[in-house]
Structure 1
Amino acid sequence: MQRLRSSIAAAAAALSLAAAIAATAHAETIAVIGTGNVGSALGPEFAALGHTIVYGSRTPNEQDVKDLVARTGHGATATTQAEAVKGADIVVLAVPGALAVDITKSLGDLSGKIILDPTNVVNRNTGDGYANHGVPGGSNAELIQAAAPNAKVVKAFNTLNWTKMVDPQSSGGPVSIPIVGDDAEARAKIAELVKGMGLEPVDLGPLRFANTLEEMLVIWANARTHGAPYNYYLRPEPASAPAR
């Protein structure tokens, strides 16, 4: 009996070690550029999943940034935007959509890095709603890709409010996060982050479809404007459903 207990204990220790190794192997350094609502939501969530967070801020020594770093924990730090990206595997552009391209250009060489783009550029109509996503014939994500041609841009997290990123259960049901990007491995990494947060990733393919995601935000915003707020949920068909 003692031998059995020892064997079980050894097996449990081995499994714990394997889990720790696996977690370390998948850990990334993530630069979160911007410390507003979206950056303050995603940074702590990603840190809780075991990733190292470096906030890039124009004012890294301001008290509100220090408070965010403390709240994030897990060894998070803050520095300038250009410094934050240097050792990062993933760069999150948690900045106003209209500034995203210029900020991307200011960050220096982003070759090989994944750029997570949750931005939107929305044009308001004549006071009764939103007309379009603000980039006729294209998308903000594609403009960001053009500004960093050797990076891997992935569009995600632009179709929901930041409060749902922090607390998906407050939606009252599942919330889908559409994802597009030209690099399949980069999309898969972002999908892992989405799953870890309790949201449901939906892979929609290459970056040229980013305009679709940005138009989805227009629908979402108009619904809220007219008193019918909701969240996207793309319900999967059963495996037995016939192909059409």
Structure 2
Amino acid sequence: MKTTQTIAIIGATGNMGSALAKSLSKGNYRLLLCANDLDKARAVAEDIRKNNPAAAAEATDCSVEASWEADMIIVAVPYAAEKEVARRIREVANQKIVISIANPLNDTYNGLVTAPDTSAAEELQQLLPNSRVIKAFNTTFAADFATPVIDGKQVDAFIAGNDADALQVVSELVSTAGFHPIEAGELTVSRTLERMQLLLIQLNSKYNYNWRAGWKILHQ
């Protein structure tokens, strides 16, 4: 029997954090929903249990304790907040998989605030040198988690990282969330993935996709 893994979702009450929590609650995971507002975290946990009574979801307001207890950590906070989260969890995230979902967008959504030769994920890896940072879920909108099949096609979700075992574990997470995982390459590929989502956000605004759009690689 497969061992239940514990996942800490830091920022679990945000749009992406709560969408991730609800999707991953379908899998064999114990979820620690971490947020500054404990009441909101409890509300997310209650909503999960209401729709899935068998789900294991607990609310917490301490990212350090949640990360210490977890096997995996999802940093579901805006790019600007990642540095502070990394500072708090650095010691307890040692050797653990840490998932970066952030896109370092500027205020007008016409560019990124990171330098061309780096990415939010690579910066997080520098801040957490003893963790296994994986880029995932940044190319999907929060609304896609409720409908990961669009126009009859399963949305692709790209992941990148330097650790093969961690990539496999995160691929399983992506599948549980309802998306088709594609291993795009090493962590440096995050630079492309973050720009891909910038483009999708710009296209959403231009063509009014109503935040229900995603990437799909068509091939034979």
Distance 2:33 2:88 in 1: 16
One-letter amino acid of the structure 1 residue matched with residue 41 of structure 2 = V
Bigger Cα Rg: 1
Distance 2:57 2:208 in 1: 38
- SS of residue paired to 1:131: coil
Task: Determine which structure has the larger strand proportion and give its number.
Answer: 2
Contact 1:171 1:231 (C-alpha < 8 Å) held by counterparts: no
Q: For 1:1-244, what aligned pairs fall within 5 Å after superposition?
A: 21=1, 24-25=2-3, 27-34=4-11, 35-60=13-38, 62=39, 64-73=40-49, 74-79=55-60, 80-109=62-91, 110-125=93-108, 130-137=109-116, 138-170=118-150, 172-227=152-207, 229=209, 230-235=213-218, 237-238=219-220
- SS of residue paired to 1:133: coil
Distance 2:151 2:98 in 1: 27
Structure 2 regions of 5+ residues with no counterpart? 50-54
TM-score after normalising by structure 2: 0.89
Distance 2:47 2:24 in 1: 13
Q: Deviations over 1:100-138 (max 9, x none)?
A: 12211112411111011111111245xxxx332221121
The Cα shift of 1:173 comes to 1.9
Q: Deviations over 1:53-112 (max 9, x none)?
A: 00111122x2x2211111223231111111111111110011111111221111241111
Aligned residues: 208
Structure 1 regions of 5+ residues with no counterpart? 1-20, 239-244
The Cα shift of 1:170 comes to 4.7
One-letter amino acid of the structure 2 residue matched with residue 167 of structure 1 = T
Q: RMSD over aligned Cα, in angstroms?
A: 1.5
Q: List 4+ stretches of structure 1 deviating above 6 A.
A: none
TM-score after normalising by structure 1: 0.80
